């Protein structure tokens, strides 16, 4: 074997041995092995999603579902204060599961979305402002169903 070839093998062996993974270093016996989390930080708070995070359709659906469950406290933050009387009127009528309520559709017009539900004896239309935050219910109408 030539000296040049032998020198290249030695250099290659030295290079490869320097790239080997070093053995793990053990901590001293009296040092902690885990790092404690920082102290003095506030606990994360649970915050309800603001109405702006919901689409107009979702706001209308949430108000309808709150009425179904008789949970006015859920519907109030989704309703513009100017529509408080409409919300009062809606919750003054207990939801009747036997009335056959069914969701029909939502459609937009002039910066609002109008969502409609049909019951056996009434039609419910919830209007939601959709063009500027916050996205809130601006009107709730319960109308008697037209006689056939």
Q: Is the pLDDT of residue 15 over 80?
A: no
Percent of the chain with pLDDT over 90: 55
Model-level pTM greater than 0.75?
A: no
Instruction: With respect to residue 137, please indicate whether it lies within any of the assigned structural domains.
Output: yes
Instruction: With respect to residue 2, please indicate whether it lies within any of the assigned structural domains.
Output: no
Instruction: With respect to residue 136, please indicate whether it lies within any of the assigned structural domains.
Output: yes
Range of the domain at 139: 53-144
Instruction: With respect to residue 129, please indicate whether it lies within any of the assigned structural domains.
Output: yes
Instruction: With respect to residue 70, please indicate whether it lies within any of the assigned structural domains.
Output: yes
Question: How many structural domains compose the chain?
Answer: 1
Q: Is the pLDDT of residue 1 over 50?
A: no
CA distance 124 to 103: 9
| Position 26 confidence tier, pLDDT thresholds 50, 70, 90 | low
Instruction: With respect to residue 127, please indicate whether it lies within any of the assigned structural domains.
Output: yes
Instruction: With respect to residue 39, please indicate whether it lies within any of the assigned structural domains.
Output: no
Q: What is the CATH number of the domain that holds 70?
A: 3.10.450.50
Instruction: With respect to residue 96, please indicate whether it lies within any of the assigned structural domains.
Output: yes
Q: Where are the beta strands (DSSP E) in 1-148?
A: 102-109, 112-118, 122-129, 137-144
Residue with more model confidence, 69 or 34: 69
In 69-119, which residue ranges form alpha helices assigned H by DSSP? 72-75, 84-92
Tell me if 88 sits within 8 A of 140, measured CB to CB. no
Compute CA 65 distance to the chain's CA centroid, rounded to the nearest angstrom. Answer: 16
Q: Is the pLDDT of residue 3 over 60?
A: no
| Position 132 confidence tier, pLDDT thresholds 50, 70, 90 | confident
Q: What strand order describes the sheet that includes 112-118?
A: 102-109, 112-118, 122-129, 137-144
């Amino acid at each position: 074997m030539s000296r040049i070839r032998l020198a290249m093998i030695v250099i290659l062996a030295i290079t490869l041995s320097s790239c080997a993974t070093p053995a793990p270093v053990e901590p001293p016996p009296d040092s902690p092995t885990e790092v404690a989390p920082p102290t003095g930080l506030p606990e994360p708070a649970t915050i309800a999603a603001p109405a702006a995070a919901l689409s107009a359709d979702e706001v209308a659906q949430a108000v309808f579902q709150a009425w179904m469950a008789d949970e006015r406290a859920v519907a109030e933050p989704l309703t513009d204060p100017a529509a408080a009387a409409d919300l009062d009127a809606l919750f003054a009528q207990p939801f009747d599961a036997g009335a056959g309520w069914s969701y029909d559709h939502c459609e937009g017009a002039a910066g609002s979305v109008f969502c409609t539900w049909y019951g056996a004896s009434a039609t419910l239309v919830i209007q939601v402002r959709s063009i500027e935050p916050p996205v809130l219910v601006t009107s709730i109408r319960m109308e008697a169903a037209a006689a056939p």
